[in-house]
Amino acid sequence: MNYKFTEVDFENTSPLFKLEDALKGFLGFLLYNPFISLFNLEGDEDVLDFGCGGGAGAQYIAKKLNYNGSITCTDLSEYWINQAQKRLSRYKNVRCLQGDIRKLNIPDNAFDVISIVHVIHDIHPEQRESTVHSLAKKLRNSGRLFIYEPTRPSHGIAIEEIRTHMDKAGLKESRCIIKKSRYIGEYKREP
Ligand SMILES: C[S@@+](CC[C@H](N)C(=O)[O-])C[C@H]1O[C@@H](n2cnc3c(N)ncnc32)[C@H](O)[C@@H]1O
């Protein structure tokens, strides 16, 4: 199947995207909670929300963490990381970092859980492998990476491509949920 990549300008976001984000702020539990419940968080984990956008999903993760847990949100877009910062300001142990995960000053083996919602398909195909490789390095040995991506050829990513990038980065799929136009996967380090 032919997958089409269309670059989205997240810095100059359309009003429709802004409206979608506002709605996700209120009704996002319908989208995020079933996904986040797969993490089985105990509360003391260090979590990375990669490509956090306006923090709509991160707020539901933050609610599940206690004082020993933390959430780091990263996004390439200055506009969206500022939105996330605002939305998450009431939560403790949250940091928002703008930039490319391959260059950000985050040590390796830093996270118990990495959450990715609707991000990899928006990255240029040539940048995906190195980005996933970098993400895998940020995961602790016992860590788990959860990914949720659309799989429509018109705007999405092929499941096989996700699996290939993960495999090359040393991550093995331990669980997956495949619906008509979306894929959810849980990955762990290869033993
Ligand atoms: C469709 S939005 C999803 C945002 C958020 N995960 C959510 O659930 O609302 C995609 C996000 O990925 C970010 N993004 C795109 N390429 C990225 C990259 N290489 N590194 C980090 N974030 C990126 C965009 O700026 C945008 O905020």
Q: Identify whether 74 is part of a domain.
A: yes
Q: Identify whether 77 is part of a domain.
A: yes
Nearest CA to ligand 1 atom 26: 53
pLDDT higher than threshold 90 for residue 150: yes
Q: Identify whether 173 is part of a domain.
A: no
pLDDT score recorded for residue 101: 98
Q: Identify whether 2 is part of a domain.
A: no
User: pLDDT tens-digit profile of 11-70?
Assistant: 998 999 899 999 988 888 898 999 999 999 999 999 999 999 999 999 999 999 999 999
pLDDT score recorded for residue 157: 97
Q: Identify whether 108 is part of a domain.
A: no
User: pLDDT tens-digit profile of 159-186?
Assistant: 999 999 999 999 999 999 999 999 999 9
Range of the domain at 45: 19-93+113-122
DSSP code of residue 69: -
Q: Identify whether 101 is part of a domain.
A: no
How far, in Å, from the CA of 50 to the mean position of ligand 1? 7
Identify residue 170 by its one-letter amino acid code.
G
User: pLDDT tens-digit profile of 85-124?
Assistant: 999 999 989 999 999 999 999 999 999 999 999 999 999 9
Per the document, the length of the chain is 191
Distance CA 6, CA 69 (A): 36
Q: Identify whether 49 is part of a domain.
A: yes
pLDDT score recorded for residue 26: 81
Helix axis angle, 78-87 relative to 56-63, nearest 10°? Answer: 40
Q: Is 56 in the pocket of ligand 1 (CB under 6 A)?
A: yes
Q: Is 83 in the pocket of ligand 1 (CB under 6 A)?
A: no
Name residue, tokens 């009431």: 90
Identify residue 65 by its one-letter amino acid code.
L
Distance CA 46, CA 108 (A): 13
pLDDT score recorded for residue 190: 82
How far, in Å, from the CA of 140 to the mean position of ligand 1? 22
Structural domains of the chain, count: 1
pLDDT score recorded for residue 1: 78
**Residue 40 belongs to a domain with what CATH number?**
3.40.50.150
How far, in Å, from the CA of 170 to the mean position of ligand 1? 23
Q: Identify whether 132 is part of a domain.
A: no
pLDDT score recorded for residue 176: 98
Q: Is 53 in the pocket of ligand 1 (CB under 6 A)?
A: yes
Radius of gyration of the chain (CA): 15
Average pLDDT score over the chain: 96
Distance CA 162, CA 183 (A): 10
How far, in Å, from the CA of 75 to the mean position of ligand 1? 6
